[in-house]
């Protein structure tokens, strides 16, 4: 399953975890508020751990790119 998808008919084209309607931004919002990845997975059971790992790797890559 893809980590991130975007479609005009799903959440107005916001990037979402693939195969879900869960916006990727919600992960960062939860982490910013102090939630753990495990708590996020409990709140959004349609998201897979592998998808979260892939999104975090993408974010790390973007932030640390030279």
Write the pLDDT tens digit of every residue in 10-59: 999 999 999 999 999 999 999 999 999 999 999 999 999 999 999 999 99
The CATH number assigned to the domain holding 36 equals 1.10.10.10
The whole-number pLDDT of residue 60 equals 95
**Structural domain of residue 31, as residue ranges?**
4-64
The residues that bridge with 17 in the sheet, in sequence order, are 4
When divided into structural domains, the chain yields a total of 1
**pLDDT reported for residue 16:** 97
Q: Are residues 27 and 38 in contact, defined by beta-carbon separation less than 8 angstroms? A: no
Query: In sequence order, what DSSP letters do the residues of 1-66 get, joined into one string?
Result: --SEE-BTTBGGG--EETTSS-BHHHHHHHHHTT--HHHHHHH-TTS-HHHHHHHHHHHHHHHH--
**Residue 66 pLDDT > 80:** no
pLDDT at 5: 93
The span from the first CA to the last CA of the chain, in angstroms, equals 29
């Amino acid at each position: 399953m893809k980590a991130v998808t975007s479609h005009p008919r799903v959440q107005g084209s916001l990037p979402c975890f693939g195969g879900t309607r869960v916006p990727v931004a919600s992960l960062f919002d939860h982490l910013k508020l102090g939630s753990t990845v495990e708590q996020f997975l409990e709140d959004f059971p349609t998201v897979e751990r592998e998808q979260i790992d892939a999104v975090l790797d993408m974010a790390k890559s973007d932030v640390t790119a030279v």
